Amino acid sequence: MRISSPPQLFPDVPAMNPYNLCNPMAENGVDCGLAQDALFTNPVYTAGFGAYYEGLCASYGIPLAGCTPATFGLLSGPVGAVPTLPIVSVVGDRSSRVRELGNYQSRCWISREMFLL
């Protein structure tokens, strides 16, 4: 059986939906702006960001220590509830294909003696 890429769904989730993860008023929701800022200010992420964009920062005269997402204005602060567009896929939903192959061989001999009958 071969499993191919499962089909994807793109449901729009309104900002105030109680199941929207970017709704801070939902039961398990968070402010996605603050969550993104927490990622961008994480020292491990900042070090990787600086290493990746070191050449770009150097071309603008920005030292490696200052090559952070904040320098490029990527911190957004609190944004409140925002609509989201999750990409959902279900493994096994119209993504599997079953193929059975078989082989049949037959051999036949004909000799000249058959013509005498």
Per-residue pLDDT tens over the stretch 17-45: 999 999 999 999 999 999 999 999 999 99
- pTM score of the predicted model: 0.65
The residue with tokens 């509830």 is 81
For residues 56 and 103, which has the higher predicted lDDT (pLDDT)?
A: 56
Instruction: Tell me the pLDDT band of 107, cut-offs 50, 70 and 90.
Output: confident
> Residue 2 — φ and ψ, nearest 5°?
-110, 130
CB 26 within 8 A of CB 20: yes
More confident call, 78 vs 105: 78
Provide the pLDDT confidence category of residue 108 given band limits of 50, 70 and 90: confident
Residue 100 has what pLDDT?
Answer: 74
Share of the chain above pLDDT 70, in %: 79
- What is the rounded average pLDDT of the residues 38-67? 96
Report whether 26 contacts 98 (CB < 8 A): no
- What pLDDT shows up at residue 80? 96
- In whole angstroms, how far apart are CA 5 and each of 11, 89, 90, 97? 18, 9, 10, 11
pLDDT band, residue 9 (cuts 50/70/90): confident
